[in-house]
Structure 1
């Protein structure tokens, strides 16, 4: 259905119903339940999906009893602004009768809601006034003029022996049930409280229960040196950081993890919380669960500063998952990690020492098991902590002077140090897409300089298909007729290819430094930053400390690689059904990791795993060249056992990789030799393949054992997650030995290990002997045999990646398929150096066993 059906059934303009205008600046998907006194009294249940309210008429209304099924008849889609509609539809009009909002709030599911709706089964969570917790909508096979579903409450803590009619008065009006009375004030993402709103009735009652405790917290706050009575800093501006290369040394500094989320400021006044972004957006209605958690604190007045995040299983912040929560495609819990307390119980604490503010904040939060948590810190040891965060894959540190006051803006008391080379830039334009790419080709970026904007280059990689669509929609709304500046004369972008936009949007981009003329090198898109304003861009680095190579906008010229023009046919073909990754996603992935992938592929004969219908269907290996593979896929004639020669294939640039992706290639398996010296191998691979019952920690120990035994014979090695079940130990050697010599060495090494530890290892492929032991597969070192390349995707569920590691990283990895496409892209963007640093220059002689 579509809004065309909505408009067709109504005489818009003569009925008070909305016509489908702008519903406001919200983000998280909303739901609304409206009680409709039409010819037949019923409830209308609506979920925001794909820009409209998917709608169902529920005759008896939702039941809060776990497992009880209620008929829900799907009706026409409604516009988003219908979520706030209340009023009387006049007699003679479609749906005539009184409409009022019964409940509203946010909803979320795991996955693409549009796809789940199409499949006929939606499992979701509601966060509202009356309806909360888990619910299901399941399409039935019952025949009728309209599609019929069942609305079912899941069995959880929010289930109750109630139904919708129990929550309305006898005259049909709303009836309060605990926090349900707040549903009008707890607005959706498009209906925000104002800072001067009266506290909600439920909150007023809670306020009286706090009064005994309030005095105690007030006394503690006033006892701190520097505290000011009666001057709560409501609406305070945030303290901001200055970027530097490393954390400061000494015990005068404390160091917190740099959380990867959205900065969130909170004013709690008379028991009512107002949430603000760092640039002043009201987020109270967007994150009602955080507002409710703040309102449950044992005080009625406070000013709080922290970061809104989603944490993964390791306790690391996951920005991508946070975005999915906001989009409604994930039900992961939000956490508000608090690191400062500018005010408490009517007392201004901004001039109190930071460590005293944090100590009081920690006590205020208690055990931190809910949506609120305390951001811990370490005093001193900045270099060691910074190194540990690098090993743990954490973005970096925020370091603060231990005795500092809370100063809004940038003062030098707060500095950040990041492992990834990334920064925020203002988007000033975009180029038209080429080939089969949709959306746009690249974004033109700028930064603040000398009071204006300076061109910094462009970014054309790192975008998923959803990114291209979503960003283009935002940029089309702010198109500009004129450029904000003149591009340097030697930036060779055809002016006809550029669409300029007003400098309103900010993007975060990873890059590998600046070129000699000051533009970004090897830029890769990370994310949009709606929490930052263009005026902030370029102001978080101490400009007095910039080096001459950091940025020279007045001499700017393009150092960007030409955009790949390889045309993808069927870019929407699903290559990983369980992860919903398309051919376009695969191509974008390989573009984004090209700097790390290409050294493993370029100039080596390749075997390809091609999957014409995706990894979920039949795949096949190909090693011979054919003309249809693409102009950047080259033949190399190699000798055959029969005496003849046949053309194998290789690539020398990312264009060749993308052409092979166009041919539905997922995996790349290079030879352990180059096309220039195909008979002289320069790599050996020991593939550790676990039998049934072998634990992952045993695999890690085995890889280290192989490394140590190789070291005994003066061979340095490198480790890789296979992306399958095992690990690869890779040994570079100086070209010289023949394939037969390399194969005999690898066989002898594997047999020696199996002989010395037969209970752990075997050097035979016999599956009957594999249980509980690890097969040291040395057969990949024969002529024509291959191993998967580092950074190659694997045609397996979940889109795993064969990931090279430093040896000191291995112990922190939980599985051989720990990196999927998304995590691998994130790792590629954040790596400061190659985990296999030096492998291409290491020359080792093959010993005689």
Structure 2
């Protein structure tokens, strides 16, 4: 029933709130209120906040806590939100004349979309008030009347009982001495909370530094990186208060968490953790936002991971391991329900991170076990993310097009070294209709005429004429990587971070974009017309899948200082002028230890491109276990005059042979003439066994079909045949990585394929610097999906081969 009806029934002189004037919407779950109305006919008014108004019902006898009692609820006109706080006397002569008292108030949680349920005539919900709690149902009846007739019914739960609304009133039927003891306790608690609130202040949180890989050693504790809101707790005189990371008071938003914290055995404490909603053991940020907006009743979980203070003792100088021990003891009997202890694992960070990836977690946070609690961002806490995801300031937006409303895309920026803002691109996906409306309203209030970024011309060239805004709002955005000109690639909006301010942002994109190429105009691939800048742009686009192949592995690169038509040479050791992100790893060799190249970030890749690296060739082993082969590579190298379909036949033949040995294999183009058949090994094998097996299998194939295959490298022996190159399976040997460019005409790329794609392939150099990124962007799943999950032993295969 429309709010217009409310407006028509009220006239000047009533103290009731004015329709059309909305109070500032409090954050958190929607509110409910029950008002005792001493009108010509005494009754209770039951009101639920839905879509900016109070949906209202008149209940003659008031709510009953007895599930067997069904209370008639007559739906009346919608009321403005301000009515939830109204108490007072409506004068005679006005509609509804009489005294109004607030009987109960609090939060409510619908089970699904409330408006949709109202339209369907049955709404289920939970109340969290001073007196009314637990589950309830409102059901529309078919009874005739001037207004819709509903029934309000209490569900059978621990809050049900043989009590009526009038049991909470005094002998005169008003509120007061008749209130139950529980309400008295609540009032006392609220009084104590108000007193403690004056003493409680938020503390400054310790923050983590973003890094590319987990640190090594038992001195590091690895925790899940929860995808939620950072939440700080102060307990003063037994009363908890909750704070966002930037000091906003969230206590009233989270009554369930507050109630759980009250049960802890402490009068004075500071706790640090993350507020999440868990779905199948994983934190779901969208579900958390839905819950905080009151559109679901999902359970909140406060994942606690630090304890800076306990029982008056400052624990900041204690090592993290000790703080966590005491936190665990404090929570040991309280971890069921709203509070949870955030578990950790000591050492073996790579395995922990791999497990986090497997289960779809956002990443991990690695912390030094012996570190104190230090406010701000330092090196003792490090976060490693599964995907690129960062916060940026919103500096503008584009106008909507077509049926879109609100805005088209947001323009993003990050702080630069001069105290200004550096433009990083736009994001136009990931917005709900509700968010488009609410965020658009906020942005219009922040409009400005001049651009806040120095790259305004770049932004206008990319988006057209933007509307600029003051940098006040923080957006969290996921993105695939950073493209040319330092712009985010394939960005998607995750959320508006109301718990953070723009003053907390740090540069992330600029660190990559700031790399200055020398001679970016130098032609590298003359026939394709690609320059050094184009090569750098390609590797920015493809950094993510390339790093999946090379990160953490000893590496050789093919450098072409004068382009592919000039001098070529391989390099496996660090050279002069290589950047800080090009690392080295010591590898033991016959004549001592040598430092091999290794990169684990897009910055490292770009610094090698700056040194004119074109091709990337990793070991078949990790830097941590260089003596253990974890993948075999069979390079099918055909004679020059052999049709490519023969190479496809060879790859399928080799796949079938491997399958007969219970080994799953994967295929990729080489960007040259042949194909690679790659076999993941888990557990890994020593190099001698790997080489022996590869040699034995190649020899068996050559003996079985000597007119088609050879197992020796001699060009003279290769006439009309394919060399099954097994020599790449020895310690120190390398193979070109998937998504590496090749230093050959046309700028071809080595590309992983599904086996069923081979039949459509006409060349091993089909994909190049232009088509490979386009293909990757179209992929719905990794062609080598399952590669890292293969569990297959070379030992068992060797026995079958014999």
**What's the CA shift for 1:58?**
1.1
**What's the CA shift for 1:809?**
8.1
Q: Structure 2: how far apart are the matches of 1:93 and 1:424? A: 53
Change over 3 Å in CA distance of 1:186–1:551 after alignment to 2: farther
Q: Deviations over 1:151-193 (max 9, x none)?
A: 1111112211212122233342155545534667999xxxxx9
Change over 3 Å in CA distance of 1:88–1:146 after alignment to 2: same
Matched residue, 1:408: 375
Query: 2:62 aligned with 1:61, yes or no?
Result: yes
Matched residue, 1:441: 408
Which residue, 213, 216, 236 being the options, matches 1:246?
213
Matched residue, 1:655: none
Which residue, 500, 509, 513 being the options, matches 1:549?
513
Q: Do the aligned residues in 2 keep the contact of 1:440 with 1:472 (CA within 8 Å)?
A: yes
Q: Structure 2: how far apart are the matches of 1:706 and 1:365? A: 55
Matched residue, 2:459: 491
**What's the CA shift for 1:247?**
2.1
Which residue, 279, 284, 290 being the options, matches 1:324?
290
Describe how 1:509-588 pairs up with structure 2 within 5 A: 509-538=477-506, 547-549=511-513
Q: Structure 1: how far apart are the matches of 2:256 and 2:210? A: 32
Which residue, 165, 180, 183 being the options, matches 2:183?
180
Matched residue, 2:303: 337
Q: Structure 2: how far apart are the matches of 1:454 and 1:481? A: 18
Which residue, 184, 195, 200 being the options, matches 1:198?
195
Q: Do the aligned residues in 2 keep the contact of 1:233 with 1:303 (CA within 8 Å)?
A: no
Matched residue, 1:85: 86
Describe how 1:427-506 pairs up with structure 2 within 5 A: 427-450=394-417, 451-493=419-461, 497-506=465-474
Q: How many residues align?
A: 558
Query: 2:786 aligned with 1:807, yes or no?
Result: yes
Change over 3 Å in CA distance of 1:118–1:736 after alignment to 2: closer
Query: 2:250 aligned with 1:283, yes or no?
Result: yes
Change over 3 Å in CA distance of 1:486–1:113 after alignment to 2: same
**What's the CA shift for 1:707?**
12
Q: Do the aligned residues in 1 keep the contact of 2:658 with 2:665 (CA within 8 Å)?
A: no
Q: Do the aligned residues in 2 keep the contact of 1:342 with 1:357 (CA within 8 Å)?
A: yes
Describe how 1:667-816 pairs up with structure 2 within 5 A: 709=659, 716=666, 731-735=755-759, 806-807=785-786
Q: Structure 1: how far apart are the matches of 2:458 and 2:188? A: 56
Q: Do the aligned residues in 1 keep the contact of 2:460 with 2:466 (CA within 8 Å)?
A: no
Q: Structure 2: how far apart are the matches of 1:387 and 1:712? A: 25
Change over 3 Å in CA distance of 1:149–1:385 after alignment to 2: same
**What's the CA shift for 1:496?**
7.6
**What's the CA shift for 1:710?**
7.6
Change over 3 Å in CA distance of 1:353–1:713 after alignment to 2: closer
**What's the CA shift for 1:802?**
9.2
Query: Secondary structure of 1:732's match?
Result: helix
**What's the CA shift for 1:449?**
1.5
Change over 3 Å in CA distance of 1:476–1:737 after alignment to 2: closer
**What's the CA shift for 1:471?**
2.4
Between 36-45 and 472-481, the greater mean CA deviation after superposition? 472-481
**What's the CA shift for 1:390?**
0.9
Matched residue, 2:71: 70
Matched residue, 2:116: 115
Describe how 1:346-361 pairs up with structure 2 within 5 A: 346-361=312-327
Query: 2:271 aligned with 1:300, yes or no?
Result: no
**What's the CA shift for 1:245?**
1.1
Q: Deviations over 1:362-383 (max 9, x none)?
A: 1111231121111111122112
Change over 3 Å in CA distance of 1:506–1:710 after alignment to 2: farther
Change over 3 Å in CA distance of 1:548–1:327 after alignment to 2: closer
Describe how 1:86-235 pairs up with structure 2 within 5 A: 86-171=87-172, 172-174=174-176, 175-177=178-180, 179-181=182-184, 197-198=194-195, 234-235=201-202
Q: Do the aligned residues in 2 keep the contact of 1:30 with 1:104 (CA within 8 Å)?
A: yes
Unaligned runs of 5+ in 1: 188-192, 201-231, 553-594, 597-679, 685-704, 719-728, 739-788, 794-800, 813-849
Q: Do the aligned residues in 2 keep the contact of 1:242 with 1:414 (CA within 8 Å)?
A: yes
Query: 2:7 aligned with 1:7, yes or no?
Result: yes
Q: Structure 2: how far apart are the matches of 1:47 and 1:487? A: 48
Q: Deviations over 1:9-46 (max 9, x none)?
A: 22256424355332344232111111122221111111
How high is the TM-score relative to the length of structure 1? 0.60
Change over 3 Å in CA distance of 1:717–1:235 after alignment to 2: same
**What's the CA shift for 1:137?**
0.9
Q: Do the aligned residues in 1 keep the contact of 2:17 with 2:82 (CA within 8 Å)?
A: no
How high is the TM-score relative to the length of structure 2? 0.64
**What's the CA shift for 1:3?**
2.5
Q: Structure 1: how far apart are the matches of 2:257 and 2:157? A: 20
Structure number with larger C-alpha Rg: 2
Matched residue, 1:17: 17
Q: Do the aligned residues in 1 keep the contact of 2:11 with 2:94 (CA within 8 Å)?
A: yes
Change over 3 Å in CA distance of 1:176–1:268 after alignment to 2: farther
Query: Secondary structure of 2:250's match?
Result: coil
Q: Structure 1: how far apart are the matches of 2:657 and 2:254? A: 50
Change over 3 Å in CA distance of 1:299–1:177 after alignment to 2: farther
**What's the CA shift for 1:91?**
2.1
Q: Do the aligned residues in 2 keep the contact of 1:353 with 1:402 (CA within 8 Å)?
A: yes
Q: Structure 2: how far apart are the matches of 1:256 and 1:805? A: 29
Query: Secondary structure of 1:237's match?
Result: coil
Between 9-18 and 500-509, the greater mean CA deviation after superposition? 9-18
Q: Do the aligned residues in 2 keep the contact of 1:791 with 1:804 (CA within 8 Å)?
A: no
Q: Deviations over 1:744-763 (max 9, x none)?
A: xxxxxxxxxxxxxxxxxxxx
Q: Do the aligned residues in 1 keep the contact of 2:220 with 2:369 (CA within 8 Å)?
A: yes
Q: Structure 2: how far apart are the matches of 1:243 and 1:713? A: 38
**What's the CA shift for 1:470?**
3.3
**What's the CA shift for 1:258?**
0.6
Q: Structure 2: how far apart are the matches of 1:284 and 1:526? A: 25
Which residue, 403, 422, 429 being the options, matches 2:389?
422
Query: Secondary structure of 2:195's match?
Result: coil
Query: Secondary structure of 2:354's match?
Result: helix
Q: Structure 2: how far apart are the matches of 1:341 and 1:734? A: 57
**What's the CA shift for 1:791?**
12
Change over 3 Å in CA distance of 1:707–1:549 after alignment to 2: farther
Q: Deviations over 1:612-658 (max 9, x none)?
A: xxxxxxxxxxxxxxxxxxxxxxxxxxxxxxxxxxxxxxxxxxxxxxx
Q: Structure 1: how far apart are the matches of 2:78 and 2:374? A: 49
Q: Structure 2: how far apart are the matches of 1:234 and 1:338? A: 19
Query: Secondary structure of 2:404's match?
Result: coil
Change over 3 Å in CA distance of 1:443–1:11 after alignment to 2: same
**What's the CA shift for 1:717?**
8.3
Q: Structure 2: how far apart are the matches of 1:166 and 1:11? A: 34
Q: Structure 1: how far apart are the matches of 2:267 and 2:455? A: 54
**What's the CA shift for 1:328?**
1.8
Unaligned runs of 5+ in 2: 517-543, 546-644, 650-654, 669-752, 763-774, 792-802
Q: Do the aligned residues in 1 keep the contact of 2:420 with 2:452 (CA within 8 Å)?
A: no
Q: Structure 2: how far apart are the matches of 1:365 and 1:29? A: 30
Change over 3 Å in CA distance of 1:439–1:683 after alignment to 2: farther
Q: Do the aligned residues in 1 keep the contact of 2:232 with 2:245 (CA within 8 Å)?
A: yes
Q: Structure 2: how far apart are the matches of 1:494 and 1:525? A: 18
**What's the CA shift for 1:495?**
8.6
Q: Structure 1: how far apart are the matches of 2:228 and 2:132? A: 28
Q: Do the aligned residues in 2 keep the contact of 1:53 with 1:78 (CA within 8 Å)?
A: yes
